[in-house]
Chain A
Amino acid sequence: KAGVTQTPRYLIKTRGQQVTLSCSPISGHRSVSWYQQTPGQGLQFLFEYFSETQRNKGNFPGRFSGRQFSNSRSEMNVSTLELGDSALYLCASSEGEPSSGNTIYFGEGSWLTVV
């Protein structure tokens, strides 16, 4: 069974631009969650989707948004990029909602550098 797939793996953007990251969950998994990882802050929760509905949201500004499609694939968008948005963005999927104790499985991440 294929794992969680994230695209693109690496990208460089300029301040003020916007970026869209894509995530394909493990087949059969209906929940997708997104995390931002930086050396200083560790793993920070962005949002969680289950059956196309956002179930939980972390403490990030409105520039960060996401959505989930009917096939469980998910995208996250960051608008008006800032230098501080440079990070590894991780997508994780689980069969059910993580809040129900379902184990989450991570993709390899998308490295975003903002210059």
Chain B
Amino acid sequence: TQLLEQSPQFLSIQEGENLTVYCNSSSVFSSLQWYRQEPGEGPVLLVTVVTGGEVKKLKRLTFQFGDARKDSSLHITAAQPGDTGLYLCAGTTSNTGKLIFGQGTTLQVKP
């Protein structure tokens, strides 16, 4: 059973557009991470959020953890071709302590 639903699965946009990727679950997470993966490489950690309602910014990327710690979003402002890649969310559930991954969002930013 997939406990962490990511949407959309695929996204193709033009350079300069904004986008939001969502990560939703019915489970509560003690922490949640976002990773970006380029083809043929391992995922690279972007951010870890641990507090409900937390907002973190990394240049043009804004990450938000839901108040109830069941969901998270990643917003990219003025996307650039260099943002192209697979974005993965991963969370540690509070009740089982297991780390689970979303299926990922493949983002393509066209110049």
A108 interface contact, C-beta 8 A: yes
A3 closest partner in B (C-beta): B42
Q: In the complex, which of the residues A42, A45, A111 has the most CB atoms of chain B within 10 Å of its own CB atom?
A: A42
How many Å lie between the Cα of A22 and that of B49 in the bound state? 30
The residue of chain A having its C-beta at the shortest distance from the C-beta of B41 within the complex is: A108
Q: Is B24 an interface residue (CB 8 A)?
A: no
Closest to B47 in A: A103
CA A56 to CA B30, docked complex, whole Å: 18
Cβ-closest chain B residue relative to A103 = B48
- Give A104 to B42 CA distance when docked, in angstroms: 12
Q: With contacts A42-B104, A43-B88, A99-B92 known, is A104 near B44, CB below 8 A?
A: no
Contact with A along B42-81 (1 / 0, CB 8 A): 1111001010000000000000000000000000000000
At the interface, yes or no: B33 with Cβ under 8 Å from chain A?
Answer: yes
Report the Cα distance A43→B30, complex, angstroms: 20
Q: Is the CB of B40 within 8 A of A98?
A: no
Interface residues on B, range: 20 to 34
Q: In the complex, what distance in Å separates the CA atom of A4 from the CA atom of B41?
A: 12
CB-CB < 8 A to B42: which residues of A? 4, 6, 90, 92, 106-109
When A105-B45, A108-B41 are in contact, do A99 and B97 touch as well, CB less than 8 Å?
A: yes
- Identity of the chain B residue whose Cβ is nearest the Cβ of A56 in the assembled complex: B98
A-B contact pairs, 26 of them (CB 8 A): A4-B42, A42-B101, A43-B88, A43-B101, A45-B99, A45-B100, A45-B101, A90-B43, A98-B99, A99-B92, A99-B96, A99-B97, A99-B98, A101-B30, A101-B31, A101-B50, A101-B92, A103-B31, A103-B48, A104-B90, A104-B99, A106-B35, A106-B42, A106-B45, A108-B42, A109-B41
- A: residues with CB less than 8 A from B are 4, 6, 33, 42-43, 45, 56, 88, 90, 92, 98-101, 103-109, 111
Known contacts A4-B42, A43-B43, A90-B42; can you find 8 more A-B pairs with CB under 8 A?
A: A45-B100, A92-B42, A99-B97, A100-B97, A106-B35, A106-B44, A109-B40, A109-B41
